[in-house]
A and B are shown apart, each in its own frame.
Chain A
């Protein structure tokens, strides 16, 4: 690896395109997270009841019902068949995320995302080791466990402990001691496991990941030939295993990041000084030649744009 890997992550992109462009998807994402929280707060704060409820279930303009499909699924396992309103709501949300990428929920909507992003920032600041890294299928085990407990107890099991709804509902309706769950997730990610909660354990993320397996909106490493191995995309990606097959693929391999773990957060687009990544659809078959094969003794320095 070159000396450039020692630069702060994203520094080249900032030098190349300016700070704003090198953070555009991060800023958009934060705006989106604030937006989805604010929708539900303008009611209690200003008495304008356009949006009622929370992420578990809501009613918009008294006509559009939305329901969390994962909670609805747990209800099925608890042997409750809901009213049509909830079913329609779950269907709308389910179809939307199936199209734009299930884990778009994780990076653009979920209120826990800023918490774990903050934890990751502190984790790096403190120079902690990555700690316990559960196997990549652990989240699916947890998902199965939640559904099993729903069936055994006859309840919507995850809602008793879910830090996402605890935080979201807490901010809108009143927090109680729910912040303890949020702090627990934060501390877990800082001290126990890097990117541990969202990246390895959360069954909500696992569910939405499965939901978006065939999603249309995808990120493509279309200009992967230009990659100069600065590794910044791997450093910012919360699910870094998803990048490799696309970025390091051969000519015949697709440059699309097709893994359902990808949250479509767009940070790789932000930090790449070579502009390798872009948002596109899964049907995009623009030819994307792989970069030249390099040997260990002759790294990519020659191909660097900044050189």
Chain B
């Protein structure tokens, strides 16, 4: 059974190198296929919303072990694990579809508590700080409120009513003498729970939809200055228009107390005056 011991020969070395090359090449091909598959599987559809406290998608896929404990502890059966082929998110990862069952925003956040790995961040302790997505009034042509009717359902079901969604009164141009109560979503308060999307009375698709913030939000134009928010001058101390002071030697004729040089009253006269300052190059006298 036991072969006599041989010294390692060049044939052994050749065999070893061949086997190593074969293994490495095979694994490189398989690894590339797997990498490609993963990068495809990563594309998260816009309607698939991660549970509250979910890390950014990239970090989430490093952390989630797809055990489904968040799904089990969700009291409203909101969460489900993605099934291969049927659902968009990476197989076995938790998500919900707001139009089917929205997040009820439990105060104790049982899904986050259940997560063993921290894919749902334990730092989230107040559900009002959750950031699952952002509601967007996506179809203003169909939204009943936008048409001038009083539906208000999305506004009324919002768990953060009057903060995440407010109704803004506008003039109804069509009728000329009615108001439009426009639902406005405020991104700093909206948690993305999806109750508005769920309860939109339109048949089929909702006029207001929760979208991931990466889709729903634009980046602020930091190179524009909003003068009404920021009172400080653009460049300190450098650009400043000359003050148009009233007084002798200036061309400020309109300002009260402004005088032209030829109409300068005699300072010695009663009622005359001497200006308490002097501007360079103008002087108080001719």
| B53-78 vs A, Cβ < 8 Å mask (1 yes, 0 no) | 00000110111111111011100000
A173 to B92, CA, bound (A): 9
A244 to B42, CA, bound (A): 46
Given A86-B65, A176-B91, CB of A153 within 8 Å of CB of B84: no
Given A79-B62, A154-B62, CB of A86 within 8 Å of CB of B117: yes
B90 within 8 A of A: yes
Evaluate contact between A82 and B66: CB separation under 8 angstroms.
Answer: no
Binding-face segment, A99-107, A155-163, A212-220: A155-163
| A124-150 vs B, Cβ < 8 Å mask (1 yes, 0 no) | 000000000001011001101110110
Evaluate contact between B68 and A169: CB separation under 8 angstroms.
Answer: yes
A97 to B173, CA, bound (A): 74
Q: How far is the CB of B18 from chain A (nearest CB, A)?
A: 11
Binding-face segment, B21-29, B200-208, B272-280: B21-29
Q: Which of B63, B67, B80, B117 contacts A174 (CB 8 A)?
A: B80
Give B40's nearest chain A residue, CB to CB: A160
Q: How far is the CB of A161 from chain B (nearest CB, A)?
A: 7
B114 within 8 A of A: yes
- Collect the chain A residues with CB atoms within 8 Å of residue B87's CB: 176
- Collect the chain B residues with CB atoms within 8 Å of residue A135's CB: 19, 22-23
A209 to B27, CA, bound (A): 20
Evaluate contact between A172 and B35: CB separation under 8 angstroms.
Answer: no
A182 to B71, CA, bound (A): 24
- Scoring B22, B73, B81, B92 by chain A CB atoms within 10 A of each residue's CB, the highest score goes to B92
Given A67-B116, A154-B58, A160-B91, CB of A137 within 8 Å of CB of B23: yes
Evaluate contact between B69 and A59: CB separation under 8 angstroms.
Answer: yes
Q: Which of B27, B64, B117 contacts A141 (CB 8 A)?
A: B27
- Collect the chain A residues with CB atoms within 8 Å of residue B83's CB: 170, 173-178
Evaluate contact between A59 and B31: CB separation under 8 angstroms.
Answer: no
Assuming A43-B72, A159-B91, what are 10 further A-B pairs, CB within 8 angstroms? A49-B72, A57-B65, A82-B116, A145-B34, A149-B31, A149-B35, A154-B61, A173-B83, A175-B84, A176-B82
Residues in A lying within 8 Å of B, measured CB to CB? 43, 49, 52-54, 56-59, 65, 67-68, 71-72, 75, 78-80, 82-83, 85-86, 89, 135, 137-138, 141-142, 144-146, 148-149, 152-157, 159-161, 165-166, 169-170, 172-178, 180-181, 244, 248
